[in-house]
Amino acid sequence: MSNQAEKSSAGLPADLQKHGAALDAWFDQRLEKKLKEVEENKTPSLSIIATKGTMDWAYPPFILASTASALGWEVNIFFTFYGLELLKKDLHLEVSALGNPSMPMKMPFGPKWFQGINWNIPNLVMAGVPGFEKVATGLMKKTVKNNGVASIEELRDACIEADVKLLACQMTVDLFGYKHEEFIPEVKDWVGAAWFLPVAQKSDVCLFI
């Protein structure tokens, strides 16, 4: 009877059960410590899908990528469709307030109170006045410069210097009849969605812009 009482429900002697529990606790502690070390030593990663080719939409991917890289992250940007414009050697990016009612139109000259006004220009005017987009682009560039914000070219160069991987969508290149010579030589690779998706899947953060 005494021998049966000393046995656990699993059929192990009590002393072995005690040692087994201690061993399990030791393994749990070791595993927890190892997982913590792996997490602390892991390099965070960011994947961005850039699809827009206007001046205003060029800022988010380059700002986020350059900032993440400065923090020590691994960064990939996949430029597809109109986003390929951001990889051209010669950037001719414009901004359009048409159909974008949340975009404030600022005057980058005059007194501060005048520069602070948001000019809500009707769509009819923006659509009907020839050259309005060029005017809006000029005003935006001047506003950016007045506020000490880096240009798109400068932000792109910062990403290149920080080893951000700039990836171009080969399918879009074929679709629009582009040539590789039209793009900056720092393009890391010409890939498709099937190549990029596994990269995005493994990233800690994935953004669609």
Q: pLDDT digit string (tens) for 101-146?
A: 666 666 777 787 777 767 666 565 655 666 667 777 777 778 778 7
Question: Using CA atoms, how far apart are residues 71 and 198, in angstroms rounded to an integer?
Answer: 23
Handedness of CA 47, 51, 52, 53 (dihedral sign): positive
93 with 55: CB under 8 angstroms?
yes
Report the pLDDT value the prediction gives residue 187, as an integer from 0 to 100. Answer: 95
Question: pLDDT tens for residues 59-85?
Answer: 999 999 999 999 999 999 999 999 999
Question: Using CA atoms, how far apart are residues 46 and 59, in angstroms rounded to an integer?
Answer: 16
Report the pLDDT value the prediction gives residue 116, as an integer from 0 to 100. Answer: 73
Report the pLDDT value the prediction gives residue 167, as an integer from 0 to 100. Answer: 97
Q: Share the mean pLDDT of the chain.
A: 82
| 7, pLDDT greater than 90 | no
Q: Which residue has the higher pLDDT, 70 or 97?
A: 70
The two tokens of residue 54 are: 């206007």
Rounded mean pLDDT, 145-167: 92
Rounded mean pLDDT, 28-50: 76
Determine how many CB atoms are found less than 10 A away from the CB of residue 159. 24
Question: Using CA atoms, how far apart are residues 29 and 11, in angstroms rounded to an integer?
Answer: 26
Question: Using CA atoms, how far apart are residues 191 and 174, in angstroms rounded to an integer?
Answer: 12
Report the pLDDT value the prediction gives residue 15, as an integer from 0 to 100. Answer: 67
Predicted TM-score (pTM) of this structure: 0.72
